[in-house]
Amino acid sequence: MKFCTQCGHQNDISVAFCNNCGTAMDTSQQQQQQQQQPQTVIYPQSGYQRPQSTPGKGMAIASMVLGIVSLCSGGYGIVTSIVGLILGVVANKQCTEAGFPTNKMATAGIVMSVIALALSILCVISCFACSSWLEGYINEFSIYDYL
């Protein structure tokens, strides 16, 4: 604020003449007041930008967990491996449709689910083969032959 030297009225810094009496304001007084006021520097505020979440992230995690469970189940994880495979494919599809690279957790879930599914199918096939072999073996050596 500037004070008029004639009437003492308080004026804004930007005015050239007093609002009360019309006297020309002293420019030296204006410069002194500007020098006395501290200079405030305003920096642009960028703010915190929350990173964009990858679409399908929850499904990718579920796919990876189900792939691990399927592998640890010892060949009996057919259902969990199929569900893990589906979730991984859907998660990768959502990522590519949104313009993101494929999710590595979903890819890991797909790989583990495929391996577990293959092992489960191999286990089922070997169980059927073994049971049919045992059935033929039992029929060949019947207890009635020795009675």
The pTM of the full predicted model, rounded to 2 decimals, is: 0.56
Please give the pLDDT value at position 109: 94
CA 28, CA 7: separation in Å to the nearest integer?
17
Q: Dig out the tokens for 4 from the structure.
A: 């008029």
Instruction: Give Cβ neighbours of residue 89 (< 8 Å, ≥ 6 apart).
Output: 106, 110
Break the chain into its structural domains and give their ranges.
2-34, 57-146
Nearest to 1 by CA among 9, 16, 15, 13: 13
pLDDT band at 128 (very low <50, low <70, confident <90, very high): confident
Helix (H, G, I), strand (E, B) or coil at 36: helix
Q: Dig out the tokens for 54 from the structure.
A: 């990858």
pLDDT band at 27 (very low <50, low <70, confident <90, very high): low
Instruction: Between 105 and 9, name the one with better pLDDT.
Output: 105
